[in-house]
Structure 1
Amino acid sequence: MAERVVVVGAGFAGLETVKRLEKVLRPQLEDGSVEVVLVAPNDYMLYLPLLPQVAAGVITAQSVTVPLPRAVKRAHRLPGTVVGVDLEQKCCVVRKISGEEIDLPYDRLVLAPGSVTRQFDIPGLEEHALGMKNLAQAAYLRDHVLAQLELANAATDDAERAARCRFVVVGGGYAGTETAACLQLLCEAALKRFPRIDPGMVRWTLIDIAPRLMPELGKRLGEQALDILRRRGVEIKLETGVSEVTDESVTFSDGEVVPCRTLVWTAGVTSSPLVKNLGVDLVRGRLKVGADLQVEGHPGVFALGDSAAVPDLTQDDPEAICPPTAQHATRMATTAADNVVASLRGDALTQYKHHDLGLVVDLGGSQAVAHPLNLELKGAPAQVVTRGYHLFALPLMRTRARVVANWILHLFGGDDFIRIGFLADRKATVDEFEGTTSYLSRDEIRARAS
């Protein structure tokens, strides 16, 4: 009987793991002695770093997807979500996209389910906040922002018009900063279509509880990014949180109440709910693994990416773990795949170690800040490095070509400011879009086993 390797998730970590397994285990996959199964709800890998540009209409949704039928050649693809794992019985519970639930036994398991938007117990947040973690959310957010401008342009009440022109983004990390930057440019360009809106009425506010914007960039580049956004008219409120959200207003922790119909929540991520029901040790909400990416106490089970607390061997601090970035996820995938192969062959496992190559932040247009290889860049040079990095990181040549074509078309042709409208009747909560309540509890997993 074939040895079955199940890979959960087709993000950066999962897809790269499968591609590496296909390469290293090609003879075994062809003769049937090994089977690799990739379980993912979508038939594409989403290139998350470019999602703000999708929301802003700079590039199309298709351009940030990597089709799995093209990227995965020999592994079996199972369209569904792993909603539970019984580590004792070595079996995954898969809910297929048809709704049917099946048991999927495994010999080796690679957990790369990714992350979901982290939420807090803030009144009204669950009901009214918009997320930015997947394609549906990006498409909905774009439609929503353009709809607010249309409604403001048609409004006869000045207070309503002002409220619809006020946008709040919570989270001063990469997702929040890039989302605010890109959508602010979208609104600025769209205003020529809405003559009844005073340009000074459109206001974007970016808030974060931290004392600095994007602290990972370092103090100097973080301040430069802050200065760029402020000069463009984006209001930055640091050391400020949200205390309440309604359908018509947002209340900040400093007591300010802002009439507002749009709150975008990007205040961090947390592990997929899948890992929290495994009954194993967690570190800061992520699966505790060794430097070999193996889950402690469970030989043959590996975890990587956003849901794994992987020791950072490049740091002197023994408690340091790798940040949840695409850069680390793709490189962890090589180690994870090689260790799966080593475990099948009875060889020694290797440890993951990677020195961070730097960070890039696209602020829209020709503006960016970047910190590649300890160099500090801003403006056009940083934008060249930023977009060059994204092109290098995209897995397929056809995907890169689409992104470049979109950039060129947007540069010379601008935006058409069209609302797609296909998600207009859908409940827009983070839980609804990200399916965070669809996973099985530990008791439900045990009940299935019995």
Structure 2
Amino acid sequence: MDIVTRPRILVVGAGFAGVGCVRRLERRLAAAEADVTLVTPFAYQLYLPLLPQVASGVLTPQSIALSLRRSKKYRTRIIPGGAIGVDLASKVCVIRTITDEIVNEPYDYIVLAPGSVTRTFDIPGLTDNAFGMKTLAEAAYIRDHVITQLDLADASNDPAERAARLQFVVVGGGYAGTETAACLQLLTHNAVKRYPRLDPGLIKWHLIDIAPKLMPELGDKLGRSAQEVLRRRGIEVSLGVSIAKAGPQEVTFTDGRVVPTHTLIWTAGVVASPLIATLGAPTVRGRLSVTSHMDLPGHDGVFALGDAAAVPDEAKGEEGAICPPTAQHAMRQAKVAADNVIAHLRGRSMRPYAHKDLGLVVDLGGTDAVSKPLGIELRGLPAQAVARGYHWAALRTGVAKARVLTNWTLNAVAGDDFVRTGFQARRPAKLKDFEYTDTYLTPEQVRAQVEGGHPEAG
């Protein structure tokens, strides 16, 4: 008896792009048309733009971790792990599960949305001594760490140690770095009131970036406005400066300054997931080179989108322009990519992706923000209303919206109790400990794994 198997669609990554694609596939494909599988270490979608508010205690971690299993209509199979290699010729994805088991997962269609990882450079001591701000665990850990520094400084009788623990350095003048510095500075500003032995004047925040401007995408006026807000709060902004060396108790800047500190937060940009390098396919600045349909030329059934894909930006109309790695593009690409997978499966024509940015929002905490919705420049409370309104509307579930709104309201009315939750262990966890960038295979290792393994039908 002939057994007819359904096409297997494998989606890699549970960010804005991956989850949006899966949800669209579930809604538009009949259950008998295809089997959908999602590869992700965690069964939630992280609303990444609000991570600084988790780090500063305005939001709880659960409020921005949107469960993938909440929908009663959810039928996608989840493999708890991360893709560490793809063999395009054999149509097999190599997965390392959360129990460190290596699994060969065959597919008929693959949608690559593994996102990005923190971009680092060959700076002595960086990965051993810096914190990142890319995962939920990092945000929760940094909050614990910052409060720990206040506790230890308060208990110390050594003026040098006290001063070092109360200096904080953030590297990266983009959205992530600026919002992180702004939100965490408010955390320490409010928390120090509970420490009568500490001089608030000893708390110093440094925000540095090698670029000549803060958040150049905002334009000169709004960029200067954001910088003025930070400086008014006492955050020292240094542009044209980066890190020369990072140690456990001090950081050396490229301009020669040495800052005694136990807190270095690195947010100097992102790069495509190392998974893309395992494919052996053409890339653009490390991102997989795809067409405007988000398919990979020469490889049937391979699609890529989000931060890890160089999707042509047709809305700009410029030769070689690619979409920036933003949540706004990822969410919209997800719908088109899912529709194109379905069109390919059904033998229909695919459509290109084209979308113009709706604007930019930067939440600086409290009543401070700068926003540029539809090209309109806003500052202060109006900008804050637009920023929070945009993020609130973009949350995928009603439960998440309710949690975030409740957290915002409670924080505004009652403030923070500055409680440590226990992430600050005796052995510190740093940048290298959260993103597992050393687990990926080379193209040769992928081929050896696929040839030596025994893939089972998904």
Q: Please give the range of the TM-score, normalised by the shorter of the 2 chains.
A: over 0.9
For the aligned residue pairs, the C-alpha RMSD in angstroms reads 1.0
SS in 2 for 1:69: coil
Task: Find the aligned partners of 1:444 and 1:423 in 2 and give their Cα distance.
Answer: 36
Count of equivalent residues = 446
Q: CA deviation at 1:423?
A: 4.8
Task: Find the aligned partners of 1:416 and 1:191 in 2 and give their Cα distance.
Answer: 12
Task: Find the aligned partners of 1:418 and 1:106 in 2 and give their Cα distance.
Answer: 46
TM-score by length of 2: 0.96
* Aligned residue runs from structure 1 range 353-392, under 5 A: 353-392=354-393
SS in 2 for 1:292: coil
Task: Name the residue aligned to 2:70.
Answer: 70
Task: Find the aligned partners of 1:357 and 1:148 in 2 and give their Cα distance.
Answer: 40
Out of 13, 20, 23, which is 1:9 matched to?
Answer: 13
Task: Find the aligned partners of 2:211 and 2:278 in 1 and give their Cα distance.
Answer: 30
Deviations 1:354-378 (A, max 9, x none): 0100010000011100000010001
* Aligned residue runs from structure 1 range 396-415, under 5 A: 396-415=397-416
SS in 2 for 1:434: coil
1:11 maps to a residue whose letter is G
Q: CA deviation at 1:201?
A: 0.6
* Aligned residue runs from structure 1 range 33-182, under 5 A: 33-71=33-71, 73-182=74-183
Task: Find the aligned partners of 1:425 and 1:335 in 2 and give their Cα distance.
Answer: 47
SS in 2 for 1:2: coil
SS in 2 for 1:235: strand
Q: CA deviation at 1:129?
A: 0.5
Deviations 1:347-401 (A, max 9, x none): 1111000010001000001110000001000100000000000011000000000
Is residue 173–residue 209 contact of structure 2 (8 Å, CA) maintained in 1? yes
Task: Find the aligned partners of 2:158 and 2:44 in 1 and give their Cα distance.
Answer: 44
Structure 1 residues not aligned, in runs of 5+ = none
Is residue 170–residue 208 contact of structure 2 (8 Å, CA) maintained in 1? yes
Is residue 118–residue 268 contact of structure 1 (8 Å, CA) maintained in 2? yes
Task: Name the residue aligned to 1:269.
Answer: 270
Between the aligned residues of both structures, percent identity stands at 57
Is residue 170–residue 208 contact of structure 1 (8 Å, CA) maintained in 2? yes
Task: Name the residue aligned to 1:198.
Answer: 199
Is residue 6–residue 106 contact of structure 1 (8 Å, CA) maintained in 2? yes
* Aligned residue runs from structure 1 range 285-364, under 5 A: 285-364=286-365
Deviations 1:14-73 (A, max 9, x none): 000000001110x2x1x3x31011111101000000000000000100000110101471
Runs of 4+ in 1 over 6 A off after TM superposition: none
Q: Does 1:20 align with 2:24?
A: yes
Task: Find the aligned partners of 2:81 and 2:310 in 1 and give their Cα distance.
Answer: 25
**More displaced, 296-305 or 10-19?**
296-305
Task: Find the aligned partners of 2:290 and 2:254 in 1 and give their Cα distance.
Answer: 37
Q: CA deviation at 1:94?
A: 1.5
Is residue 145–residue 424 contact of structure 2 (8 Å, CA) maintained in 1? no
SS in 2 for 1:436: coil
* Aligned residue runs from structure 1 range 212-231, under 5 A: 212-231=213-232
Task: Name the residue aligned to 1:280.
Answer: 281
Is residue 140–residue 424 contact of structure 1 (8 Å, CA) maintained in 2? no
Structure 2 residues not aligned, in runs of 5+ = 452-458
Is residue 128–residue 432 contact of structure 2 (8 Å, CA) maintained in 1? no
Is residue 104–residue 450 contact of structure 2 (8 Å, CA) maintained in 1? no
Shift of the 158–208 alpha-carbon distance from structure 1 to 2, 3 Å rule, reads: same
SS in 2 for 1:42: coil
SS in 1 for 2:185: helix
